[in-house]
Chains A and B, each alone.
Chain A
Amino acid sequence: MSELKKLINDPLKVADELVEGLVDAYNGECVHVGQRSLALKNIPDGKVALLVGGGCGHEPIYHGLVGKNLADGAACGDIFAAPPPGIVLEATQAVDKGKGVLYLYGNYAGDVMNFDIGAELAEDEDIDVRTVLICDDVASAPPTEKQNRRGVAGLVPIVKLVGAASQTACSLDELEISAKKACLMTRSIGVSMSPGSIPATGKPTFDIDADKIGLGMGIHGEPGVGEIPMTTTDELVPQMLDYLFKDFEADEDVAALGEGDEVILFVNSLGATTMMELLIALRKAKQILSERGIKIYDVIVGPLVTCQEMTGISFSITKLDDELKQHWNMACQSICYTKLEGAQGA
């Protein structure tokens, strides 16, 4: 393959420059905070705040989820690296309106350590902080160890739901409970056909044979459950969804997915896989869910949780109940994800 033509400036300034551009894209709705954070401009006093964050390079998440009825702010790390504690603190101070701050981010060792140090610094400033980790990748640990799973694309429906909950939450306790529920009900599985690259080095994040698909791979190209031969959409999608069905079935903390259940279905591209391919995958997923009597309450489709020019897709399913549906129905608006009031087709 010919060398990748990447349109950037100084490779070591990619994260800073993209965050600057993101704030420009918000066109006044968001402000740039401290070294590399952003926050909504008008967060109401007394609101329980929601802070997301993580490494850059996966745009439009995580920082693109700052917005109306979504996250109040985001702490941005460098490319694929957790934000340092100082940045977490700056973001925390920017979103805190006296009722405390919920940290909601993907479960990665670096993020956990840096956000934890950031939380300790925030506590020193008398800001109440609570943390809920997103652990939705079913390929990264069995249901009995789901607290060890990676956080992947499920964060989009999760942040949407928790952002809505945060608008009416009376306390940090209440929001923490909502967040834990949204996380518990959301599961994801991904595949990849070829790697993305690290902007600063130009090197691919992993190697895979041209005729293979990595099943269960993470959003940085972390290995999954194994490799299978390259195949068609209609052969692949049932295998992927099976992992999700089996996971809901095997996990004692949730009921199995079945007849009459309503779900949010998110079909994500990891970067280079096209909308055309996502729609073909969505079509097959819809058939499979229909056969099981599972109703799709709403659909998200698009390249929202990416790893540069990585090819691959992921499915995330969020199982809804009345409370989650109510939170889902709230309109939201951000660079990453915008929806109108209600649900498509519902």
Chain B
Amino acid sequence: MAKEQLTPAETKTMMLQVADAIIEAEPILTDADRALGDGDHGVGMERGMNAIKEKLEASEYESAGKVFMDVGMAMMSSMGGASGAVFGTLFRAGGKSIKDSGTFGSKELAELITSGTQSVMDRGGAKPGDKTMIDALDPAATAAQAAADQSLPEAINATAAAGEAGRDASKAMIATMGRAKTLGEKSIGHPDAGAVSIAIILNTMKNFINS
């Protein structure tokens, strides 16, 4: 049965499922990054996900926001690399913005992604169109805001769909950030690996909320 509000415990279960989904997708992420970067994104994300599992499984939560903050800290302190800094910032800053709300509903979803996305842009300097994870996050944040008054399943469905569309749109973009920027026009045709990860994260959240 679809869930309207997630308890902190359910939020934790959802993020554990996200971790498993990313670990399973490691070969896909590695291939995506090899096309544009040095191919370390999959392994880095896998390391981050294992750190998340270790942290969450050992903790009890009274706030959904705190779950996301711990997800961010676990990624930031275990992964390193550009991914560790930006994914860590996404969840830490996003989680912090909802740390006072116990449960996780469509309003919290919108706040989490919007605040997190803004913090990632401030940290890394990427903006929409640079062929980074922002190209999946920014449309997802816009969709989540538009659906903030709808039910959580409706909101996450719209958010995940926007994230996927953003990931696909990143294929046509020319990389201007990070290691991929030296590819220039040759980067066209491949999605950004970070955007691929964002789509997997949002889809796994969607499946959990709708189950």
Contact = CB atoms under 8 A, between A and B. Distances in A.
B117 to A, nearest CB: 15
A224 B178 CA distance: 14
A247 B42 CA distance: 36
Nearest to B82: A110
B43 interface: yes
Contact of A203 (B34, B76, B78, B79): B34
Interface in A159-201: 198, 200-201
Interface residues of B, number: 30
Nearest to A200: B43
Interface stretch (B60-68, B83-91, B161-169): B83-91
Interface residues of A, number: 36
A110 B83 contact: yes
Contacts of A150: 179, 182
B80 A205 contact: no
A203 B26 CA distance: 13
A203 B35 CA distance: 12
Contact of A223 (B40, B76, B78, B183): B183
Contacts of B179: 108-109, 150, 218, 220, 222
Contacts of B44: 78, 81
Nearest to B26: A201
A223 B47 CA distance: 26
Interface string A67-103: 0000000000111111111110000000000000000
Contacts of A223: 182-183, 186
8 contacts: A77-B81, A81-B83, A82-B85, A84-B84, A110-B83, A222-B179, A223-B186, A224-B182
Given A77-B81, A114-B80, A221-B38, 4 more contacts: A110-B82, A201-B43, A206-B38, A220-B179
